[in-house]
A and B are shown apart, each in its own frame.
Chain A
Amino acid sequence: MTTRVLVVGNGMAGARVAEELRRRDPSGHQIAVTVVGEEAHAAYNRILLSTVVGGAITPRETRLKPDGWWEAHLIEVRTGSRVTAVDTLTRTATVCRVPAAGGQPTDASLTDASTQIAWDELVLATGSTSFMPRIEGTQVGDRRFDDAQAGDMQLEETDVVAFRSIDDCARLVRAARSASHAIVLGGGLLGIEAARGLLMRGVDVTIVHPRSIPMERQLDDDGGAVLTRVLRATGARLILGRRVTAWRDAAGGHGHEAVLDDGTTIAGDLLVVAAGILPRVDLARDLGAEVRRGIVVDDRLSTTVPHVHAVGECVEHRGTVYGLVQPGWEQARVLADVLTGADPTSRYEGTEPLTRLKVHDIDLASMGVVTTGLHDDDHEVVTVADPRRGRYAKLVLRGDRVVGAVLLGAGDVAGAVSQLFDSGAPAPTDRIALLLGRAPGSGATPLDAVSLAQMPGSAVICRCNSVTKHGIVEAWRSGCTTRDAVATATRATTGCGSCVAAVDGLCQWLTSVEPPDMAARAGPESPTVSDQPQQHHPTAAFAEGAA
């Protein structure tokens, strides 16, 4: 008996559920999968949208899978379709075609095109929509931006663009061609990424953000202040602690202007809305599932309605709503384990959030708890800050475990810190070293006379032939005072050749502290000679370490 799984939503989480199901049941004998998505496009990789805006890749290159992949893997995908109603008793769903952009949705077209799909397990992966704050002059406010009505609005008002979907992205790119100054509403992750994409397209950008620091969800105040400096240094204008209250034609007749809540105005010809996202919960609410901020799910990704599951940004799990892709992927894996029975004990226990700003010239990582104060009783907090150079690193530990970090302009250590954060492995005791990364030149230091002198006799000079400093000193004292002679006697320099400079340096140093005529007299058999320098060379005697 084949189980029919209907996935509502063809975004990154919904598509991943389908993929994970098929991975566990490649033949399709056990599970039939149908995915319904509103957008006209095949499933795409939303996290690449800022890259599209930046121009490095085409919209087509955001596809999650190559053409034909879904069919070849027996996954039925209905794009441009919306689930308008679900009957959990008969386990059916009503699916309608979404009119192509520009078409007028009418009741007739909805009913004409509707079909019924029977399902055994329903997966809600409805994602989220852009939040649109109330702004006079934009005809919308405090409601979802990209539902049907908003779609009509956007066609008329291409000077107001959200930054959420690939269509938004196309609108943004089109608008950016004629725009010279964009106002980005929101200094969160998306807003900053949109701003940088526009800057790369030669558009001036002003970011208006209602809080006192950008990315306040990921940063503490000091980190936010450093990021503010960094953003401004990249050429973006950043206005903090202000809201846009109106968007209107500019007084002079050219372009538009935004009015802020303190009455000031900013001229611009494009308003980009990146003011946050809202989980899409309407369908879940309609079918009777518990909804708080998101659709409530348990550790098996089940909603409160039997046979109805949910994953991704629309979900509230243990009180948390995620706006990142990684949790959705982890949830999809667990749900597929549970639905196929591949691992019925599989559970989702939450994801430690790790945010990385994907902007070419700003290296920012934030993970876990970041607002803990320096003198907090329950945590150990370590910071390194150099605000003028755009560097700020903060580590928050509980016991030996890294539970949070901000790394701004400290990208060299982001890999090491994020792995400690993920694994929960004990952090090294030298916390500062962890935040600073490897000291420059720790691999090797230049071999000047002083370092050669101070080097212990047991130090290996020629690794290829295991020749120590002691060995070279011995050779020199037996009369081998040139590199070639030392090479013949010890084989030093005859392997990879990396130690040529060191051997030359040793020969020079020995010549300066022990002239060769003396060396020849004091041969290696001489009982009075060790490779401790002669007493009349006090500096060398001090300098050379034990052999």
Chain B
Amino acid sequence: MTDLLETAPRVTDTHCPYCGLQCAMTLTGDSAADLTVTPRRFPTNRGGLCQKGWTSAELLRHPGRLTTPLVRKAGELIETSWDEALDLVADTMRQVQDDHGRDAVALFGGGGLTNEKAYQLGKFARVALRTSQIDYNGRWCMSSAAAAGIRCFGLDRGMPFPVTDLGSAHAVLLLGANPAETMPPFLGHLVTSAEAGGLMVADPRLTPTAARALEGGGLHLQLRPGTDAALALGMLHLAVVERHVDRDYIAARTSGWDELWPTVAQWTPDRAERVTGVAAATMRRAVELLARARDTERGAYVLSASGGEQHATGTDTVSAYIALALGLGLPGQRGSGFGTITGQGNGQGGREHGQKADQLPGYRKIADPVARAHVAGVWGIDPDDLPGPGRSAFELLDALGTDAGPRLLMVHGSNPVVSAPHAGRVRERLAALDLLVVCDFVLSETAAMADVVLPVLQWAEEEGTMTNLDGRVLRRRAALAPAGLARSELEVWHDLAVRLGQPAERFPTDPRVVFDELRRASAGGPADYSAITWERIDAGEHLHWPCPLDRPQGTPRLFLDGFAFPDGRARFSAVDQTGPAEPVDGHYPLIGTTGRVLAHYQSGAQTRLVPELAASSGGMFVQVHPETADRAGLGDGALADVVSRRGRTRATVRCDADMRLDTVFLPFHWSGDGTANHLTNPVLDPTSRMPEFKACAVRLEVAS
């Protein structure tokens, strides 16, 4: 027995590297070669894992894993030492800033970075580089939902209640969400609603999630892409005329109804039907299902995700969703509510701690003098030395290498060559830089363009915290030693900061020390982590922010006593349906929309390297109605070019008779000729600066 114990493999409890559900998993083994993954029982994933999670260890032992710094010499990326690579980066940073000013150096972050890294990246920008030019790929993910949450509730925590609350709900309306493919174990929370016939899915496609709804007697609202706000306003109109609105709640807990209502009044069901293509009868039924579940206290929820958010009108669209939920009296009540489904692994934590252009830790605004003073105090600098707000993600990339724009870009946890809208333009701007530095653990398409590539840690090699989709702070734990020469970004920024003249102790490399500093920096802010300690999370406590020192139990359910405005009232925002920005016409008669498939995550830079995932998903495809394909001279399996005003994407035709005739769907996980974002429209939301990923005018051609 003693022998057995001594040789028992090392077991590490952590969470999945991929999406925002952060499924709990157990890693067994202590080398990349033999590490195995098994699901772990946890409230959020209920013991489930999808194929991405099951196969996540494959990337740890993939031959393409980066383990040595690379520097481009004579056009080739060749191996080098850390010192040489870091000297080059630091020297160029200094040179570029001397020649062109502090904002000539830009940083680009990612929603997959741990809280500590998201925090430290913002600090490195503002303190070591004193540049305002920092933003991250979450701008293309959650920014519209976040902006609408702040606008309407005064606070953005994607899901302001534990995800497990959904488990008993009898009515759940999913707006532009396809968790059956993007977040499969999440579906476990929708079993009750699905079986009660109360699962409702608004999506231009009959996704597996929509199919699950229909199977249980629920609804599929198959709207035209980009008409999401009309759908919400039309449903709210129906809620009023059919007397399902909660007038007492509106009077007691909200403001702004009188300003919104005249717009809603014009969204008669027939008009909403004509614009969205969703039958008025279906909208009516959806409203009834929500109202009945509410009235019988069986749980009624409205949830939003990328489908409605990734538009140049995303903030208004989510505001319209929230208006529907407020009109029905759902938010801030036990057993009902509104939430958004955060996509990236640390999409929630990543948007709270300062890697965003206008933000400081604790979800503070960088333009707010009180916030600046507090954070500058924690950082030991003069508030006046903090830069102001910088460019948003696409604007930042769009400015690279231009006269007024940055000359050096350092990228972390992001692959904008594939994930940015109008990808061709982004590739062109990256090529115009003096120096492109990419920190990654695989040679992503963006890393392949870099002048310096710095190998960093994978999830199973690092310690840290992540904040999942319901604002729960989780521990990521290391099972393995770093591969080769790979280092944590915390070490990279430390080494660069020291080379740039910063005191060494200002940029600690121990994630636990960084987390303690993050807690202090967040104290008093909207996303207050001050009572969340490393020990408490390690001990298995489920802590949802805000968790200030005087409320150490945290806040699983926000807004029960009031919304985060001085008057405690949620705000209806007087929004209307506008857009899509690019209407279809004779040359581009179809609406192109983008999204995900089950086997891939984000730009696919990681998951395309996992053989099992690559095999099960096949290659780049375009999903299209057979008659629409036929009109373009295409059949199932044919090779098509999908063409927009900005570019073309090559894809295999996948015919699907359940598609709308006017819509084609392109997954965005592939690169090269198959990059869906060659087509997408970079027009930005005026508030969130979200591009229009979900609707652009395209046509189909036979591939030449």
Q: Which residues of A contact B (CB under 8 A)?
A: 45, 47-48, 51, 54, 56-57, 61-67, 69, 326, 354, 356, 358, 360, 363, 365, 411-416, 418-420, 422-423, 425-426, 428-429, 438, 441-444, 463-466, 491, 494-498
Contacts and interface: CB of A to CB of B under 8 A. Distances in A.
B259 interface: yes
Q: Sorted from nearest, which 7 A-B pairs have the closest CB atoms?
A: A356-B270, A496-B187, A411-B281, A443-B214, A443-B211, A464-B184, A444-B215
A293 B592 CA distance: 45
Given A443-B211, A466-B599, A494-B47, 7 more contacts: A57-B240, A66-B574, A412-B281, A415-B273, A415-B279, A419-B277, A423-B662
29 contacts: A47-B268, A56-B241, A57-B241, A61-B240, A64-B266, A354-B274, A358-B268, A358-B270, A360-B242, A363-B281, A411-B281, A412-B279, A413-B279, A415-B277, A415-B278, A415-B279, A418-B274, A438-B220, A463-B180, A463-B598, A465-B50, A465-B54, A466-B599, A491-B51, A491-B54, A495-B50, A496-B179, A497-B48, A497-B188
A494 B187 contact: no
Interface string B189-202: 00100000000000
Given A56-B241, A463-B180, A497-B188, A45 B262 contact: yes
B313 interface: no
A426 B631 CA distance: 10
Contacts of A442: 206, 214, 658
Contact of A494 (B48, B206, B224, B242): B48
B49 interface: yes
Contacts of A65: 262
B261 interface: yes
Contact of A466 (B210, B259, B616): B616
Given A411-B279, A411-B280, A441 B265 contact: no
The SS class assigned to the B binding surface is helix
B593 interface: no
Contacts of A438: 214, 220, 658
B26 interface: no
A464 B211 contact: no
B586 to A, nearest CB: 11
Given A496-B180, A498-B212, A414 B240 contact: no
Contacts of A356: 268-270, 273, 280
Contacts, number: 160
A170 to B, nearest CB: 18
Given A415-B279, A444-B215, A498-B187, A365 B48 contact: no
A487 B259 CA distance: 54
Nearest to A62: B265
B332 interface: no
Contacts of B282: 411-412, 415
B661 A428 contact: yes
B243 interface: yes
A51 B241 contact: yes
Nearest to A446: B215
Nearest to A464: B184
B672 interface: no
Contacts of A56: 240-243
Contact of A425 (B258, B269, B661): B661
B184 A496 contact: yes
Contact of A422 (B208, B240, B274): B274
A64 B259 CA distance: 10
A47 B259 CA distance: 19
A164 B241 CA distance: 19
A9 B147 CA distance: 40
A503 B271 CA distance: 45
A408 B259 CA distance: 35
Contacts of A358: 268-270
A494 B262 contact: no
B619 interface: no
B274 A495 contact: no
Interface of B: 39, 46-51, 54, 179-181, 184-188, 191, 206, 208, 210-215, 220, 224, 240-243, 258-259, 261-262, 265-266, 268-271, 273-274, 276-282, 574, 589, 598-599, 612, 616, 625, 627, 631, 658, 661-662
Contact of A61 (B265, B268, B280, B281): B265
Contact of A415 (B280, B612, B616): B280
A412 B273 CA distance: 10
Given A363-B281, A426-B631, A463 B208 contact: yes
Contacts of A444: 211-212, 214-215
A444 B180 CA distance: 14
A2 to B, nearest CB: 27
A197 B128 CA distance: 69
A423 B275 CA distance: 11
Given A491-B54, A495-B48, A443 B215 contact: yes
Task: Report which residue of B186, B211, B270, B627 has the largest number of chain A beta carbons within 10 angstroms of its beta carbon.
Answer: B270
Contacts of A428: 625, 627, 661
A65 B266 CA distance: 10
A54 B240 CA distance: 12
B214 A463 contact: no
A64 B48 contact: no
Contacts of A63: 262
Given A443-B206, A496-B185, A496-B187, A464 B51 contact: yes
Nearest to B599: A466
A416 B220 CA distance: 13
A12 to B, nearest CB: 9
B258 A67 contact: yes
Contacts of B266: 45, 64
A247 B398 CA distance: 75
Nearest to A68: B259
A420 B661 CA distance: 9
Nearest to B598: A463
A48 B265 contact: yes
A378 B427 CA distance: 53
Kindly name the residue among B213, B241, B259, B278 whose own CB sees the greatest number of chain A CB atoms within 10 A.
B241
A464 B48 contact: yes
A13 to B, nearest CB: 13
B215 A441 contact: yes
A415 B258 contact: no
Nearest to B281: A411
Nearest to A43: B262
Contacts of A464: 48, 50-51, 180, 184-185, 598
Contacts of B269: 356, 358
Nearest to B658: A442
A412 B281 CA distance: 6
A499 B359 CA distance: 43
Contacts of B210: 443
Contacts of A47: 268
A351 B261 CA distance: 27
Contacts of B281: 363, 411-412, 414
Nearest to B221: A415
Contacts of A422: 274
A354 B279 contact: no
B663 to A, nearest CB: 11
A413 B277 CA distance: 9
B289 to A, nearest CB: 15
Nearest to A418: B274
A438 B279 CA distance: 12
Given A57-B240, A426-B631, A443-B220, A66 B262 contact: yes
Contacts of B179: 496
Most B CB within 10 A of own CB, among A64, A360, A411: A411
Nearest to B49: A494
A443 B598 CA distance: 18
Nearest to A64: B262
Contacts of A497: 46, 48, 185, 187-188, 191
Contacts of A62: 265
Contact of A419 (B212, B224, B240, B589): B224
A54 B242 CA distance: 10
